[in-house]
Amino acid sequence: MIETMKDLVVAHALPGDKPGDQADAMRQTAWGFHGSPDADGGFHGSLADQILWLNSLRWVAVVVVAVGTLAGTYVFPVLVDPRPLYAAAAALLACNLAYVVAAGRDRRSGQRSTVLLAMVQMEVDLLVLTAVLHFSGGAANPFFLFYVFHVIVATIILPRNLSFAVGLTAIALFGLLAVNEMNAGTILGHYPLQLSAGGGVWRNPIYGLAAYVAFACTVMIAQYLTRIVIVRMASKELEAARNSNLLRAIINAMSEGLVFTTPDGRIVLCNPAAELWRLDGTGQDRESGSGFPAALVRHIKALADGGPGLQGQDRIIEFRTGGPAQRLIVARSCLVTGLGGAPLGYVIVGQDLTEHKRLEADLLARTEQVTAINETLKMSRVRMAQREKMVALGQMAAGIAHEIGNPLTSLSSVVQYLNRKCKDPDQKELCTVVDHHVGRISAILRRMLNHARPAAPEYRWVNVNEVIHNTLALIRLDQRAAGVTITDAPNDELPMVWLNPQNLEQCLLNIAINALDAMEAKGTGHAHTLDVVKTLRDEMVEIRISDTGIGMSPEVCRRAFESFFTTKEISKGTGLGLFVSYNLITEMDGTIELESECGKGTTAIIRIPVRPKKDLIGGPAPETDRPNGESTPSEPYY
């Protein structure tokens, strides 16, 4: 498109072109020369066609010389010796045959040989014309005007310098004839016409007729050549106008904006797409660049100040249009030069990349979404593998529990039998302790079996304050809690919650044990606290358990609920505590999340609905909702 713009500018010859350049361009347009200009300004893209036209005129010249010689010998006997004239006609015929053959070969050769052939033809034609005039009266022959035709033809088909050379040759040859005539033929010989000189040559009717014929031929041939030039110029001018209209239509139909500026920064061409870059969308005060974005105006000024020195990225600009619908435009500028290499101005072509950038951003967002989905799928595969491990572990735990369960049953029976038979209070107390620990082992085995074959959960209406209080009572017995201040302010506004108390207790124990480990890892030189805060928000009981331990990084927080993930030493953690807690809370339709900061501590946030959605259709009403204020004694839950 930039090259097309260059052609349009050259065709219209913007102000500032040199007169010689315009003349050469006109001659190129008139004769169909479409090649590049030579150093002397000539154009020779169709010179071979002009040579063929000259060859056709030469056939006519051969016939005219032969017929004129016959007429001068037999009709008007004015020639002294017609044989040199016949020889000149034969020489012209032979030369023309050679020219035709050479012209066919030059069409396949380069431009330089074509110009040389045309130059040789014009010089030889002048020599033949001089010979014909010399043997038919010399300078007194009225047909000496035919020198003018050769000069005109040379000017049409040859470059400027060579056409001047042909003109000088014609002047020199006619001067030679004149000098020979003044010296009575002592230089080249004298072949006067057989005319009666009484009263002057113009009194001779034959000379008068010859002069009249020569003048008439001169007028007719000059009119013929002029008519050819005018017709071809008109044809090429019409073709140039059509091309100009076509180029303007193409430029106006472009979706890209196009602006052409002169070397001093004036805007002389701006297509409709570029008009949309203006703030108001109008074309007022076009030359000043009014309304265009500031970045484009600065770029035009930079081109005017030092355009030829701008290279590479300096010729590419990016800007946004004004108005409510801002568009992103990326434009590139290019120098336009005239026929002589002088700068005519700069063409700036801009493309609207708004939709491209939007699609690019959309593609990037979708790529991120696909990446996130792939990451989710990857994590899902990891979780599936971990669940398979848990299934294998549960199956193994079921076998272990079955094998240990039988001896424990026997041991429990023996202990109970001894407890009934013993009379000593100390021994009975020991039997009670043994039976209690056997019960604990049995409870552990039941939990292992529940992992392998979960039993139906025992949901009931539970007082969350009571569950938390009993859980913290167990935590205080741990030796790691000796230097920790544990606070638990009861919230009497909390309603009864429908859940499995053992699941909530296990979740709280796991979180509290992790908090004790984190505070122990931080060291004993700090005042450690474990705070439990309970609130009711949107039918959800929120429990916040905060510690002052070492805290966790965001990456560790994100993976904390994965199975077998732990930051503890191998002998101190299995990575199942928070994983189990997450599953237990999720089973209650609740949520659990972590807020942590390295070096300051961690807060576990548990949110439990007052009643899970899956249990809304089952279970009795809580004690506070029963009619007539009836209540039932609370049942033990562990």
Residue 597 token pair: 């900061």
d(CA 464, CA 505): 10
Query: How is residue 496 annotated by DSSP?
Result: P
Q: Are 468 and 532 in contact (CB under 8 A)?
A: yes
d(CA 354, CA 363): 14
Positions in the chain short of pLDDT 70: 1-46, 106-111, 195-208, 211-212, 215, 219, 223, 279-290, 307-314, 386-387, 390-391, 394, 447-457, 563, 569-574, 613-638
d(CA 434, CA 229): 130
Q: Are 422 and 431 in contact (CB under 8 A)?
A: yes
φ, ψ at 151 (rounded to 5°): -65, -40
Q: Which amino acid is at 209?
A: L
Q: Where are the alpha helices (DSSP H) in 328-424?
A: 354-421
Q: Are 266 and 282 in contact (CB under 8 A)?
A: no
d(CA 214, CA 212): 5
d(CA 328, CA 331): 10
DSSP assignment of 99-142, as one string?
Answer: HHHHHHHHTTS-HHHHHHHHHHHHHHHHHHHHHHHHTTTGGG-G
24-31: long-range pairs with CB below 8 Å, 24+: 24/339, 25/339, 26/233, 29/233, 29/236, 29/237, 29/240, 30/229, 30/232, 30/233, 30/236, 31/156, 31/157, 31/232, 31/236
Q: Which helix (H) or strand (E) element contains residue 56?
A: helix 47-70
Pairing status of strand 528-537 against strand 328-337:
unpaired
Q: Are 42 and 24 in contact (CB under 8 A)?
A: yes
Residue 463 token pair: 């007082």
Q: Which helix (H) or strand (E) element contains residue 594?
A: strand 591-597
HSE-up (13 A, CA, CB side) for residue 249: 6
d(CA 286, CA 266): 8
Look at residue 188 and give its three-state secondary structure.
coil
Q: Are 541 and 608 in contact (CB under 8 A)?
A: yes
Buried b (16+ CB within 10 A) or exposed e, 187-219: ebeebbbebeeeeebeebebbeebbeebeebbe
pLDDT score for 22: 40
d(CA 568, CA 579): 15
| Beta partners for residue 318, in sequence order | 330
d(CA 349, CA 524): 73
The CA-to-CA distance between both ends of the chain, in Å, stands at: 86
pLDDT score for 116: 84
Instruction: Give the domains, in start order, of the chain with CATH numbers.
Output: 44-249 (no CATH), 252-357 (3.30.450.20), 359-452 (1.10.287), 460-629 (3.30.565.10)
Residue 119 token pair: 């130059």
Determine the Cα angle at 91 with ends 90 and 97, to 5°.
90
Cα radius of gyration (the chain)? 56
Residue 356 token pair: 């491209």
d(CA 69, CA 459): 138
Q: Are 443 and 638 in contact (CB under 8 A)?
A: no
Residues in CB range of 41: below 8 A, 6 or more apart: 20, 21, 24, 159, 160, 339
Q: How many residues does the chain have?
A: 638
Query: How is residue 74 annotated by DSSP?
Result: I
Look at residue 14 and give its three-state secondary structure.
coil
- The packing angle between helices 111-134 and 47-70, to 10°, is 10
pLDDT score for 29: 37
Look at residue 259 and give its three-state secondary structure.
strand
Residues in CB range of 497: below 8 A, 6 or more apart: 461, 462, 464, 541, 608, 609, 610, 611
Longest dimension (CA), the chain: 189
pLDDT score for 449: 67
d(CA 456, CA 134): 136
Q: Where are the alpha helices (DSSP H) in 290-332?
A: 294-306
pLDDT score for 532: 93
φ, ψ at 582 (rounded to 5°): -60, -45
Residues in CB range of 242: below 8 A, 6 or more apart: none
pLDDT score for 30: 37
Q: Which helix (H) or strand (E) element contains residue 443?
A: helix 425-452
- The packing angle between helices 205-253 and 19-31, to 10°, is 100
Nearest partner of 578 among 555, 594, 560, 595, judged by Cα: 560
pLDDT score for 418: 86
CB atoms < 10 A from the CB of 174, how many? 17
